[in-house]
Structure 1
Amino acid sequence: MPANQELPHPAMADVELTDVLFALSDPARLQIVRDLADGPLEMAQCGATNPALPKSTKSHLMKVLREAGIIRNEPRGRERLVSLRRDELDATFPGLLDGVLGTTRR
């Protein structure tokens, strides 16, 4: 897929809590969300804690998170910028990310 191609992202009104919980239930996907909690990262930086992760597996993890409405994956030049949809998720499911990530939002 070309780096400059837009990917579909669900509207928050269409995001189901069960899909979000399923996406967060996988340790590798949860680690990506933890990595993104401090701010957006280039796709190559996501999941950097596991460099042995095949590119195809990483792409699948990102797809599940994006389709669940947890992340945004947008073209940025020749790269892709991945960000957590934190404000939207907090508005739709208050306290969910704080509870899952074990954090308190400032």
Structure 2
Amino acid sequence: MSHRTDRRRWFPRLVRLRDLARSLNHLHRKVDHLMATQADLDALVSRIDTAVAGIRQDIADIKAAHPEIDLSGLEERVAGLEGLDAENPTAEPPAEPGE
């Protein structure tokens, strides 16, 4: 077998391997971006949860200090926010292959 024949046989495989490596690198960049985006969303959700809990506590404090004030409408709104949170629970991470 000549050197030229050997090169013709392996060159397409090397090109394909290079293309696969590029595709894999592209996918890694996308995953890194998605993970960063997920971290940003998790932080935002945490801030919203903290704010809703704070509002809920403020309502309880106002009710304790001024029982004559009707805060039922405000309590319903906060309950609606908490209900939205309950409708969208944290997703379970996908199982690793082979588990």
Task: Please give the TM-score of this superposition, normalised by the length of structure 2.
Answer: 0.26
Task: Please give the TM-score of this superposition, normalised by the length of structure 1.
Answer: 0.25
Bigger CA radius of gyration: 2
Q: Which one has more relative contact order, counting CA pairs under 8 Å at least 6 apart?
A: 1
